[in-house]
Amino acid sequence: MSDLISLRNFSFSFPEKEIFTDLELEIPLEGVNLLSGINGSGKSTFCRLLLALQTGYRGGLLFNNRDISSVDTQSLAAEIIYLKQPSSLNLLAATPWLDLVVWASGFGSNQYNRADIDEALDFFDLLSYKDKPVWELSEGQRQGVALAALLLNRQKVWLLDEPAAGLDNIRQKKLKKLILEQGKQKGVLIISHRYDLFADISDNIYEIKDKSILLRK
């Protein structure tokens, strides 16, 4: 059975801005799904609400029929990997290698497979940068490190906020290939204004418009 996001009479506002009003929608996460929308429409806010990093919504927001407000964030993190916007928010350690060690060892154990980390870094051509401080990497390289962590989290649903940010054409193609592969095993939800880039690989396309989320395809 595929993973499922359910919105029931769901509304959310910041003090000075209404973002979502009375949404009634199910978003099955099988295959590749795209949630699009213009700048400021509420895409990143939706990610944060789903991961319980933003509270204060009204109505129901459920992941696999469990209300987000009553699920602990650690158990959500075991099921969903969330690529944040901007890339620097995803970096957990001082170098690409150490960052991926954290992911590969499952946050704390000392057991990890070096070959898995090498393979993940190599996918985004980052092997020669693996011991560089992350603050010396370019924006696209930092995004590459964050994306490499996805390769160590294939058992989870991928929630990707603007995954192509900072990537050149070659890396955008690699990313799309990776997302397609993952969509065959587990659900992916891409959150992006780059409709042009991701529409062709998406099975379902949703759009945030006028404080609502509409199914476009």
Ligand X SMILES: Nc1ncnc2c1ncn2[C@@H]1O[C@H](COP(=O)(O)OP(=O)(O)OP(=O)(O)O)[C@@H](O)[C@H]1O
The mark string for 169-208 relative to ligand X (x by CB under 6 A, - otherwise) is: ------------------------x---------------
CA distance 175 to 78: 22
Q: Which window, 39-47, 95-103, 109-117, 178-186, contacts Mg ion (CB under 5 A)?
A: 39-47
Tokens read off for 198: 């991701």
Q: Which residues pair with 26 in a beta bridge?
A: 6
Q: Is 44 in the site for Mg ion (CB under 5 A)?
A: yes
User: What are the strands, taking DSSP E only, across the chain?
Assistant: 4-14, 17-28, 32-36, 58-63, 66-67, 80-83, 157-161, 188-191, 204-209, 212-215
Q: Is 37 in the site for ligand X (CB under 6 A)?
A: yes
| CB 98 to Mg ion: min, Å | 27
Q: Is 54 in the site for Mg ion (CB under 5 A)?
A: no
Q: End-to-end distance of the chain based on CA atoms, in angstroms?
A: 21
Q: Which window, 36-44, 55-63, 95-103, 112-120, contacts ligand X (CB under 6 A)?
A: 36-44
Tokens read off for 217: 């395809």
For tokens 């092997």, what's the residue?
127
CA distance 29 to 204: 9
Q: Is 36 in the site for ligand X (CB under 6 A)?
A: no
Q: Which does 42 bind (CB under 5 to 8 A by kind): Mg ion, ligand X, none?
A: ligand X
CB proximity list for 138: less than 8 A, separation 6 or greater = 166
Binding ligand X (rule: CB under 6 A), the pick from 18, 21, 24, 40 is 40
* # residues near ligand X by CB under 6 A: 13
Binding ligand X (rule: CB under 6 A), the pick from 17, 58, 66, 217 is 17
Q: Which is nearer to ligand X, 27 or 151 (CB)?
A: 27
Which positions touch ligand X (CB under 6 A)?
Answer: 14, 17, 19, 37, 39-45, 85, 193
